[in-house]
């Protein structure tokens, strides 16, 4: 068992406009590795199986404990977080590729700024800026906190968008994460002041109506957000807001 | 776009962000969802229930057809509540279907399969309904004027084994599409947000869809296979214009659904 190795195949691309190539690596086996440590191992000795010297793999990562949300990639075809994907549980050769629905920056690093643009469009924040001290916020009951806590766990990894059949160039769908954040901030006692604006934003093209309820998001989300429930709840609120606006505004 | 340009606030690559508050796709998409329940779903129920009269034979079926065609403003109802909504639902549905990027090969999960099936069954129903409306409503003998011919017309159609297969497949596809459509409607409009609520609504929709499907298949069976109706004669009510009721016969017609008022349907 001395010469046990890990086979890895990585889809690489040197710039956003270059075409991609697949490089194969063989890494000495160590127990309990995850994909980020595997990529670190390759960086120590960036040589392909055919002995060709190459560059270390570029990828995003930060926390290494599935909390920063930066390391999402396709691992054996499926969107997962690299730092929580354990090598010992994966079929070999391990195939790594960048997320398929986001522009590649280099190798496994992709540009996921569309999620941040979407969060800005729906004002996914609690407005607290003022010219004077606004004082402490309203009291939140523990029941509400418990309801909202799971929604606050989103790490903006974009996996829910990657796995969604409706999230693509044709629809420009906003994706589950943003809808869940709308629910979180609409139900927040201070954040609710922007509720109507958020609901109107979500009725725009690419909004909540594009959801086809394939429910991949909730199955794939690494933080187990109740995404389908949020889409359902927010969907109702958006309809009510639209009807109200039609008659009242 | 440019490779080495400094970061400028240009249009970002890939999937575009939400067009907040812009456009009318929300209205059309929700109308599509609603139109599948009312009026189209309601009509589908009516259609399958009416067709179930074929179990009682040619005369009963003819009476049902005559009753429907005697409804006030029936042509307005037909166009306003069936043809136009159906055309919208079908065409917009095709538009929706081809904008999805199917990925069941990578994520083979139940909801994902159902997502694909909703599109596949919708396309099957669309193709079927075009030929069905053309061949049964507009081509051949006109049933609104000749309700007595209804059973016979369908029987001739189903004598072709290919047509029979098409009808069976389309019946299953359409009822599936409707049942899952109700489930989707409840989920998307926020009627069943919770996991348990959605599971329960799944049971209800499954039972309902299965019941509709079985009723539809039984009607097909009655027309195509039921021994007592094989080569059944055309019932004696032909050439009655829609809505005009001739004096009721005094004796009870065999097989009538309403023996207290033979020949009278209203
Ligand atoms: S909702 Fe889940 S899958 Fe989507 S971005 Fe947040 S953590 Fe990731
Ligand atoms: S490195 Fe932070 S989530 Fe994986």
The number of folded domains in chain A is 2
With cut-offs at 50, 70 and 90, classify the pLDDT of residue B7: low
Q: Phi, psi at residue A25, to the nearest 5°?
A: -130, 155
Residues with CB under 6 A from ligand 2: A 61-64, 66-71, 81-83
Across the range B54-68, mean pLDDT stands at: 94
**Are A131 and A206 found together in one domain?**
yes
Tell me the CA–centroid distance for residue A44 and ligand 2, in Å.
20
**Are A81 and A128 found together in one domain?**
no
pLDDT of residue A121: 97
Tell me the CA–centroid distance for residue A42 and ligand 2, in Å.
18
**Are A238 and A123 found together in one domain?**
yes
Last residue of one domain, picked from the residues A110, A131, A159? A110
pLDDT of residue A130: 78
Cβ atoms within 10 A of the Cβ of B188, count?
23
Does residue B212 register a pLDDT over 80?
A: yes
**Are A182 and A84 found together in one domain?**
no
**Gap from A136 CA to chain B (nearest CA, Å):** 31
pLDDT of residue B266: 45
**Are A34 and A69 found together in one domain?**
yes
Cβ atoms A27, A9 nearer than 8 A: no
Query: Has residue B58 been placed in a domain?
Result: yes
Q: pLDDT tens digit string along B158-168?
A: 999 999 999 99
**Are A124 and A103 found together in one domain?**
no
Tell me the CA–centroid distance for residue A176 and ligand 1, in Å.
8
**Are A227 and A159 found together in one domain?**
yes
Q: Contacts for B127-132 with beta carbons within 8 Å, 24 or more apart?
A: B128/B166, B128/B169, B128/B170, B128/B173, B128/B174, B129/B86, B129/B90, B129/B170, B131/B166, B132/B170
Instruction: Give the ligand at the shortest distance from the Cα of A67.
Output: 2
Greater confidence (B258 vs A174) lies with A174
- ipTM > 0.90, yes or no: yes
Of B26, B103, B112, the CB nearest to A242: B26
pLDDT of residue B258: 61
Give Cβ neighbours of residue A28 (< 8 Å, ≥ 6 apart): A4, A5, A6, A41
pLDDT of residue A149: 97
**Are A104 and A134 found together in one domain?**
no
**Are A99 and A122 found together in one domain?**
no
Last residue of one domain, picked from the residues A110, A137, A172? A110
Of B20, B30, B184, the CB nearest to A213: B184
Residue A5's SS3 state is strand
**Are A92 and A137 found together in one domain?**
no
CATH number of the domain where residue A232 is located:
1.10.1060.10
Average pLDDT, chain B: 90
A93 preceded by a cis bond (ω within 30 of 0)? yes
CA B34 – CA B189 distance, rounded (Å):
10
Cβ atoms A75, A85 nearer than 8 A: yes
Q: What is the chain A residue with the closest CA to B22? A: A204
The ligand 2 atom at the shortest distance from the C-alpha of residue A64 is: 1
Of B3, B106, B118, the CB nearest to A78: B106
pLDDT of residue B171: 98
Q: Do A201 and B21 touch (CB under 8 A)?
A: yes
Tell me the CA–centroid distance for residue A142 and ligand 1, in Å.
24
Q: Which residues of chain A have pLDDT under 70?
A: 1-2
**Are A78 and A175 found together in one domain?**
no
**Are A153 and A117 found together in one domain?**
yes
Residue nearest ligand 2's atom 3 by CA? A66
The number of folded domains in chain B is 1
Q: Which structural domain, as residue segments, surrounds residue A27?
A: 5-110
Last residue of one domain, picked from the residues A51, A85, A110? A110
Query: Has residue B9 been placed in a domain?
Result: no
- In A, residues 60-119, which contact B (CB 8 Å cutoff)? 77-78, 101-103, 111, 113-114, 117-118
CATH number of the domain where residue B166 is located:
1.20.1300.10
Q: Do A200 and B112 touch (CB under 8 A)?
A: no
pLDDT of residue A178: 98
With cut-offs at 50, 70 and 90, classify the pLDDT of residue B180: very high
Residue nearest ligand 1's atom 8 by CA? A157
Across the range B38-50, mean pLDDT stands at: 97
Does residue B72 register a pLDDT over 90?
A: yes
pLDDT of residue B238: 47
Lowest mean pLDDT among A90-99, A130-139, B198-207, B241-250: B241-250
Query: Has residue B261 been placed in a domain?
Result: no
Q: Which structural domain, as residue segments, surrounds residue B38?
A: 25-229
């Amino acid at each position: 068992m001395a010469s046990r190795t890990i086979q890895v195949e990585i889809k690489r691309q040197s710039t956003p406009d270059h075409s991609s190539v697949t490089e194969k690596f063989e890494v000495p086996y160590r127990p309990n590795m995850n994909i980020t440590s595997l990529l670190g191992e390759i960086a120590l000795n960036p040589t392909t199986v055919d002995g060709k010297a190459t560059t270390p793999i570029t990828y995003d990562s930060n926390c290494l404990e599935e909390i920063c949300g930066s390391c999402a990639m396709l691992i054996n075809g499926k969107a997962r977080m690299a730092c929580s994907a354990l090598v010992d549980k994966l079929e070999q050769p391990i195939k790594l590729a960048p997320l398929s629905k986001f522009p590649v920056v280099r190798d496994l690093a992709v540009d996921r700024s569309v999620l941040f643009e979407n969060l800005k469009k729906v004002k996914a924040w609690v407005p607290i800026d003022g010219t004077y001290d606004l004082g402490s916020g309203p009291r939140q009951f523990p029941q509400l906190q418990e309801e909202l806590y799971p929604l606050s766990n989103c790490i903006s990894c974009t996996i829910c968008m990657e796995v969604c059949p409706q999230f693509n160039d044709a629809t420009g769908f906003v994706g589950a994460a943003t809808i869940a954040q709308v629910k979180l901030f609409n139900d927040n006692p201070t954040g609710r002041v922007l509720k109507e604006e958020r609901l109107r934003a979500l009725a725009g093209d690419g909004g909540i109506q594009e959801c086809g309820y394939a429910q991949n998001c909730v199955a794939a989300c690494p933080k187990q957000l109740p995404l389908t429930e949020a889409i359902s709840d927010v969907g109702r609120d958006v309809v009510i807001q639209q009807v109200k606006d039609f008659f009242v505004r | 776009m440019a490779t080495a340009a400094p970061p400028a606030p240009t249009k970002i690559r890939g999937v575009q962000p939400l067009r907040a508050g812009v456009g009318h796709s929300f209205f059309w998409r929700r109308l599509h969802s609603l139109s599948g329940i009312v009026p189209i779903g309601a009509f589908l129920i009516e259609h399958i229930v009416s067709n179930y009269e074929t179990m009682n034979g040619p005369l009963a079926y003819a009476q049902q057809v005559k009753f429907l065609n005697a409804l006030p403003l029936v042509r307005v109802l037909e166009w306003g509540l069936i043809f136009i909504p159906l055309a919208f639902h079908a065409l917009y549905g095709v538009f929706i279907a081809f904008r999805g990027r199917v990925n069941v090969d990578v994520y083979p999960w139940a909801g994902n399969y159902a997502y694909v099936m909703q599109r596949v069954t919708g396309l099957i129903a669309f193709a079927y309904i075009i030929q069905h409306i053309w061949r049964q409503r507009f081509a051949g003998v006109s049933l609104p004027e000749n309700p007595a011919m209804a059973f016979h017309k369908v029987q001739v159609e189903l004598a072709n084994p290919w047509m029979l297969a098409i009808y069976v497949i389309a019946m299953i596809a359409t009822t599936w599409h409707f049942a899952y459509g109700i489930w989707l409607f409840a989920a998307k409009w926020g009627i069943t947000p919770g996991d348990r609520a959605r599971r329960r609504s799944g049971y209800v929709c499954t039972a309902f869809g299965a019941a509709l499907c079985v009723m539809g298949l039984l009607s097909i069976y009655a027309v195509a296979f039921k021994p007592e109706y094989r080569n059944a004669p055309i019932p004696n009510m032909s050439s009655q214009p829609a809505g005009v009721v001739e004096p009721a016969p005094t004796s009870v017609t065999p097989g009538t659904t309403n023996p207290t008022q033979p020949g009278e349907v209203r």
